[in-house]
Amino acid sequence: MFKTMVPDMFVQSIYEIDLNRLQYQGIKGAIVDLDNTLVEATRPDATPKLVSWLDQLQGMGFRVMIVSNNNRTRVSKFAMPLQVPYIHRAKKPLSPAFRRAMREIETKPEETVMIGDQLFTDVLGGNRIGLRTILVVPVSEAEGFFTRVNRRLERMVFHWMRQRGLLGWEDQK
């Protein structure tokens, strides 16, 4: 079961993702979590650096969709000015939002990457349906109650992974 929580890649932030490598690997679409992946959960809009990154991503031909468990107000106010499509109240790690996102950006699982900051929502959900998964370090430590609970559970899973040599990225540090 824990193996479905092992991401394909781990990076300190979205800005460290090698977009050329993803493109070379046949990735055409990116499903991206919002809170603590793109910006802090308390930040209402995108930073100039994030706007530039999204422009680069889309300029390279990647189709992008924000998929968040947050509510419509939060996600729409963030995504609409960027003209990035979104799904709110996604209920990750359940599959329907991931499948809907791929339908809307017209990609197949093997052509899609899920980028997020949580093992139990983003990585687990993406891995369950065959997406590439990239785990990023959360951009902020300020989190809601349920996310804090998830973080405690994540630490246990990381410990289990470390014992089994599943954290290949640790050798890269």
Q: How far apart are CA 125 and CA 129, in angstroms?
A: 7
Region of 53 on the Ramachandran plot (φ > 0 left; ψ -120 to 50 alpha; else beta): alpha
Most confident of 105-109, 158-162, 169-173: 105-109
Q: Which amino acid is at 14?
A: I
User: Higher model confidence: residue 4 or residue 43?
Assistant: 43
Encode pLDDT of 48-59 as tens digits: 999 999 999 999
pLDDT of residue 122: 95
Mean pLDDT, the chain, integer: 88
Range of the domain at 28: 2-172
Per the DSSP assignment, residues forming a β-bridge with 135 are 10, 116
Cβ neighbors of 73 (< 8 A, separation 6 or more) are none
The C-alpha angle 87, 151, 124, rounded to 5 degrees, equals 50
Q: How many domains does the chain have?
A: 1
Is residue 33 predicted with pLDDT exceeding 90? yes
Q: Which of 4, 33, 35 is nearest to 116 (CA)?
A: 33
CATH of the domain at 119: 3.40.50.1000
Is residue 60 predicted with pLDDT exceeding 60? yes
pLDDT of residue 119: 86
pLDDT of residue 171: 44
* E strand intervals along the chain: 9-11, 29-32, 63-67, 86-87, 112-116, 132-136
> Is 7 in contact with 133 (CB distance < 8 Å)?
yes
11 in helix, strand or coil?
strand
